[in-house]
Structure 1
Amino acid sequence: MSKLDQAKRCYARLMAAESKSDDPRLERVFERVPREAFLPAGPWKIMVDYRYFETPTDDPVYVYQNALIALDAAKGINNGEPYLHAAWIGAVAPRSGERICHIGAGTGYYTAILAMLAAPGGSVEAFEIDHALAAAARRNLAPYEGVTVTRGDGTSIELPAADLIYVNAAVLAPPRSWLQALRPNGRLIFPWQPSNSVGLAILITRTEKGLDAKPLMAVWFIPCVGGASTQDALVKAPGWPAAWSVRSLWLTSERIPDETSVATYEHVWFSSSSP
């Protein structure tokens, strides 16, 4: 086994462990999808403590570690941290045959992983607002079945009915279109950033009783470009303790905010009470 193959196998084993999932496909998928194919040409810029350090050579063995790697260093856009995404993927548990929407797909690395987990019979519709990144994603994802890439603002485009919506850019609140697109038992995972000091990954699940909300971990993503990234509709913002207390999410058109409200917006609100 080559040094690169060894690095891939070790990386995949670590990702599967970090996912906390018993899905045996996760390790195989992280080993099979070549991370270097979704990055600019090496040597690569790896971020440590908010600074970039360049790898000594373009040997792809360097990319198989839990590290942010620059896609566009000038804009601060990176290929996301693998441990974080492994944990998210474990939490949302993509299944074969599911229809997935990936918002903020970048150059498509995690889109490819989602696509392999949705196979056979599933599909992934990826949305990326940056022209160059969207073009790169189309090229990179051409070998993967059931994947389409749309260049556009995922907060304003009407999404198709989905079993899973996977969001890789921070929003103040999820747009109504995301919630309305969720099928029964559908999951939405996104970085919730209701203020400059609060950032949480939130998992939303559509149940028979409503939209269950579960805070997963502290996170920090670049803001989602579009209407959901503005403070235009913010009525009430939470601090850290209140944000961690979230247990459900409601459309204001379906239920008026009450005393359990943790964060309120024009169209949606978060509650500390279960649905």
Structure 2
Amino acid sequence: MGFLTMAGGDVDLTEIRSVYARQMAAASGSSDPRLEQAFAEVPREDFVGPGPWLIMGLTAALAGERYVRTLDADPAHLYQNALVALDAEKGINNGEPSLHAAWIGAVAPKPGEAVSHVGAGTGYYSAILSRLVLPGGSVHAFEIEPELAEKARRNLLPYPGVTVVTGDAVTLPLPASDIIYVNAGVVAPPAAWLHALKPGGRLIFPWRPSEKVALSVLVTRRQAGFALEPLMPSWFIPCVGASFAGRKAKLPDRAGAQRTRSIWRAADKPPDETATAIIGDVWFSSERLAE
């Protein structure tokens, strides 16, 4: 157990993590106690490099800056609801914890499940997901930036069942997955991602079909198709290979995106009058699927 010397006196880092984890559990909307435990036990400082750190959050916003630099390398700075720069020039961050907590609550990982994590960065949220699918589960962490992937590979060595893949998850085959967890903005998920979902599988991703739409959505594979639930606004860096719509695409406005309730592979079902968006080989529909 480590102790930190801070302005308010000696503070127990374990207690700081515990408070942070309780806040993330509340943000998740989940009743699974393992989620709070995972946020408490996975050290964020192991995944963001040595401090001081560049942090994006309320403090930066109030200062009118994109990032603010922490005064020192005290890990306590990391246990707040703020993004931490991994590559500030490219805009790559360790993402906002409360958003990820809400996403993890939405996909509800269970022991024994297989997760594909697209855009894993240096592995922090891969580590948390891995804790939630133990025993017997697995995480395939895809990262296209070689330097970040190598850091993730080192960082995730202590976490059983995790494999780091250096490469483009849009062109590489994803394994059959109970959960596909995407941390890069896409105009539409590749049809191959939908194909990789097991029955009952969940795909969560930031839908960014236009500058006016930035929406987290949860897709669930049902017997008759893929149900879609709009969640909350979200902004991520673009996903290489899946961030541009073709000229023939039909793109939604905000209202159309919010009305969307299912997604289809065009090879399975051609677009019809319910289409809110048609992008490449998938299309989005206002049709609500049966449970």
Structure 1 residues 151 and 24, CA, compared in 2 at 3 Å: closer, same or farther? Answer: same
1:252 deviation in Å?
A: 0.7
Q: Distance in 1 between matches of 2:135 and 2:248?
A: 41
Matches within 5 A, 1:195-234: 195-226=210-241, 228-232=242-246
Query: How far apart are residue 233 of structure 1 and its match?
Result: 6.5
State the alpha-carbon separation in 2 of the partners of residues 257 and 60 from structure 1: 51
For residues 22 and 180 of structure 2, the distance between their equivalents in structure 1, rounded to whole angstroms, comes to 25
Q: Match for 1:157: what amino acid?
A: L
Aligned match for 1:253, one of 267, 270, 280? 267
Q: Which residue, 42, 50, 67 being the options, matches 1:41?
A: 50
* SS of residue in 1 equivalent to 2:40: helix
What's the offset of the Cα at 1:69?
0.6
Q: SS at 2:67's partner residue?
A: strand
Deviations 1:126-175, CA, capped at 9 Å, x for gaps: 10000110010000001100000011001111111110000000000000
1:23 paired residue among 15, 18, 32:
32
CA distance in structure 2 between the aligned counterparts of 1:97 and 1:161, rounded to whole angstroms: 13
- The CA distance in 1 between the partners of 2:228 and 2:66, in whole Å, is 34
1:65 has 2:80 as partner: yes
| 1:53 maps to 2:62 | no
Measured in 1, the distance between the counterparts of 2:283 and 2:185 equals 17
The residue number in structure 2 matching 1:237 is 251
Which structure has the larger Rg? 2
Give the structure 2 partner of residue 106 of structure 1.
121
Kept after mapping to 2: 8 A contact 1:104/1:167: yes
TM-score, normalisation: structure 1: 0.97
Q: By how many angstroms is 1:229 displaced?
A: 1.6
AA matched with 2:274 = T
Instruction: Report deviation, 1:265.
Output: 1.6
2:90 to 75, 85, 93: 75
Native 8 Å contact 1:233 1:265 kept in 2 = no
Identity of matched residues, %: 58
What is residue 284 of structure 2 aligned with on the other side? Answer: 270
Cα deviation, residue 9, structure 1: 0.6
* SS in structure 1 at match of 2:257: helix
Q: Which residue of 2 is the match for residue 11 of structure 1?
A: 20
Q: Name structure 1 gaps, 5 residues minimum.
A: none
The size of the alignment, in residue pairs, is: 274
Report deviation, 1:232.
2.6
CA distance in 1, matches of 2:163, 2:27: 28
C-alpha displacement of 1:6: 1.6
Distance of 2:20 and 2:248 partners within structure 1: 41
The separation in 2 between residues aligned to 1:238 and 1:83, in whole angstroms, is 27
Aligned partners of 1:8, 1:159: CA distance in 2, in Å? 33
* 1:204 partner letter: V
Residues 245 and 279, structure 2, Cα contact 8 Å, conserved in 1: no
Q: CA deviation at 1:22?
A: 0.6
* TM-score between both structures, scaled by the size of structure 2: 0.92
Q: Distance in 1 between matches of 2:250 and 2:198?
A: 28
| Runs of 4+ with >2 A deviation | none
- The 3-state SS of whatever aligns with 1:236 is coil
| 1:230 CA displacement | 2.0
